[in-house]
Amino acid sequence: MGNGGRSGLQQGEGDVGGGGATPTAASASCQYRCIECNQEAKELYRDYNHGVLKITICKSCQKPVDKYIEYDPVIILINAILCKAQAYRHILFNTQINIHGKLCIFCLLCEAYLRWWQLQDSNQNTAPDDLIRYAKEWDFYRMFAIAALEQTAYFIGIFTFLWVERPMTAKKKPNFILLLKALLLSSYGKLLLIPAVIWEHDYTSVCLKLIKVFVLTSNFQAIRVTLNINRKLSFLAVLSGLLLESIMVYFFQSMEWDVGSDYAIFKSQDF
């Protein structure tokens, strides 16, 4: 079994009592989820004598609670890229990942660099004056702030829609903290912006649009899996986020603040 699939999943382990394989009692709190039916589970597997593991079977669907604990991390990543709901449930509910903030900052830096690069590409002023270099540095900071504000508007649009429709989304109060973490993790597709810039070619604009579609699809799946809602509500939530984000982009354009990115312009053309 790959170590990556078992990291952070030690609560469901058991001990050996006497000569037989007698697992210990499971934890009282149900902190895991079945990746097939989304039902809560007390444990993912039990560790018997000599390192023999037995995956827990879900009492609801009679399938393994989380088959991915036996999978290599690369296989899990591929399944997540394919936007499989089971892979998303494994990552969001059954693993301990605390890179949400770092990933968010890095994605914003990637987007800010893309905007800054396109802005400098449109201004071919090569004067070596220190003031020019200082202005270019502050252009990057400005692009980062604009990207952060647009992403914030996108998240606010999603949360606002889900808050208004909360009687339809779940029987209990939605966990918006978990949803925010899921949205940040599912935005990892923005990391592809840098290779799209480095390997510049005639189809860069098309690549940026495809990256945007991939990020939106990942966000859609993250919302559906986290809140266990239907595809229609997830789609409307993403649409609401895009609407508010497009309003923010239009505001920046009306203020004559060059957002400096085909990626951002694509956002404003969604509606």
Q: 100-122 vs 176-185: helix axis angle to the nearest 10?
A: 50
Residue 239 has pLDDT above 90, yes or no: yes
Query: For residue range 59-78, what is the model confidence (pLDDT) as tens digits?
Result: 888 888 999 988 899 999 99
Query: Rounded to whole angstroms, how far apart are CA atoms 10 and 16?
Result: 15
Is 170 among the domain residues? yes
SS3 category, 217? helix
How are beta strands 40-41 and 32-33 bridged, if at all? antiparallel
Is 3 among the domain residues? no
The CA-CA-CA angle for residues 187, 267, 148, to 5°, reads: 55
One domain, residues 59 and 74:
yes
Q: What is the extent of the structural domain holding 75?
A: 32-92
In Å, what is the CA distance from 155 to each residue of 49, 76, 212, 242? 47, 26, 15, 9
Is 213 among the domain residues? yes
Assigned token pair, 4: 């990556």
pLDDT score at 38:
87
One domain, residues 88 and 217:
no
Q: Which residues of 62-84 are buried (b: 16+ CB within 10 A; e: fewer)?
A: eebbbebbebeeeebeebbeebb
Number of H helices, E strands in the chain: 11, 4
One domain, residues 66 and 116:
no
One domain, residues 230 and 103:
yes
One domain, residues 104 and 226:
yes
One domain, residues 117 and 177:
yes
One domain, residues 107 and 58:
no
Is 13 among the domain residues? no
When pLDDT is cut at 50, 70 and 90, the band that residue 259 belongs to is: low
| Domains identified in the chain, total number | 2
Is 215 among the domain residues? yes
Least confident of 53-57, 58-62, 91-95, 164-168: 164-168
One domain, residues 163 and 191:
yes
pTM, full prediction? 0.77
Is 269 among the domain residues? no
Query: Rounded to whole angstroms, how far apart are CA atoms 25 and 65?
Result: 17
One domain, residues 109 and 235:
yes
Is 107 among the domain residues? yes
Query: Rounded to whole angstroms, how far apart are CA atoms 265 and 5?
Result: 39
Query: For residue range 137-159, what is the model confidence (pLDDT) as tens digits?
Result: 788 888 899 999 999 999 999 99
SS3 category, 58? coil
One domain, residues 83 and 206:
no
DSSP state string for 72-93: -HHHHHHHHHTT-HHHHHHHHH
Is 84 among the domain residues? yes
One domain, residues 107 and 36:
no
Residue with more model confidence, 256 or 247: 247
One domain, residues 73 and 109:
no
Tokens 């649409």 belong to residue: 239
